[in-house]
Copies of this chain bind each other. A is one copy, B any other.
Amino acid sequence: MNLLLLEEADFISAGRVVLHDRRLAHLHEVHRAAVGDRLRVGRLGGLLGEGVIERLSAEQAELSVSFDQPPPAKLPLTLVLALPRPKMLRRVFQTVATLGVPKLILVNSYRVEKSFWQTPFLQPEAIHAQLVLGLEQARDSVLPQVVIEKRLKPFAEDRLPALASGTLGLVGHPGPYPACPRAVDTPVTLAIGPEGGWIPYEIDLLGKAGLNPVQMGERILRVETAVTALLARLF
């Protein structure tokens, strides 16, 4: 937790917050915090700043807070991701938030197991919790937007062309394709497939929407690693 991220419900007045939850436990157990300690804070959806611990007990922490710095810029990116398996999904939410992805669209794919869509990790509060962890890691205060598109075909045919219009449209896909470009200076729409990859029909669908395959070498990467590697190369 490199940033103490504050939500509206934490505020008892304009410049004062009270914490009870895992953040309080973290202050005690990891920061070994004491009254008077100064901490980096952020207001969810707002600015970053500084907090001072005014009172501290086993039950709660009260901090005075002020905000004066903008959060780090987001990447100029829309990330389209075939739904990963649940354990990976949780980490992907964190990673996406940490890396500064502003918009994540989760889609179905032939190789996504149907059971993955039943995971409790897709509940809004579970998504929110993982995104917040990722923001705290990166010292960012602005949640990525997460959109769930359970059917790939209508998404790719009806909505993706407009999303990808005016951007560099890419699909991360192993094979005899051009290498992923480096240090691009345009907005990007990037689609990353499931374990096992997109099937040819899906590559066609994405291609018609303006997304063309690029590769990262012959090694097959886990989804989380592929997301990080592609974004580090692109931006």
Which residues does A use to contact B, with CB under 8 Å? Answer: 2, 72, 95, 98-100, 137-140, 182-183, 216-222, 225, 228-233
Contacts and interface: CB of A to CB of B under 8 A. Distances in A.
A91 B99 CA distance: 18
A1 to B, nearest CB: 10
A219 B140 contact: yes
Contacts of A218: 72, 139
Nearest to A235: B217
18 contacts: A72-B218, A72-B219, A98-B219, A98-B222, A98-B225, A99-B219, A99-B221, A137-B222, A138-B220, A138-B221, A140-B219, A182-B183, A216-B232, A225-B228, A228-B232, A232-B232, A232-B233, A233-B233
A89 to B, nearest CB: 16
Contacts of A233: 232-233
Contacts of A219: 72, 98-100, 138-140
B138 A95 contact: no
B221 A137 contact: yes
Count this chain's copies in the assembly.
2
A229 B230 CA distance: 8
A167 B230 CA distance: 25
A2 B183 contact: no
A98 B219 CA distance: 7
A98 B221 CA distance: 7
Nearest to A100: B219
Contacts of A225: 95, 98-99, 228
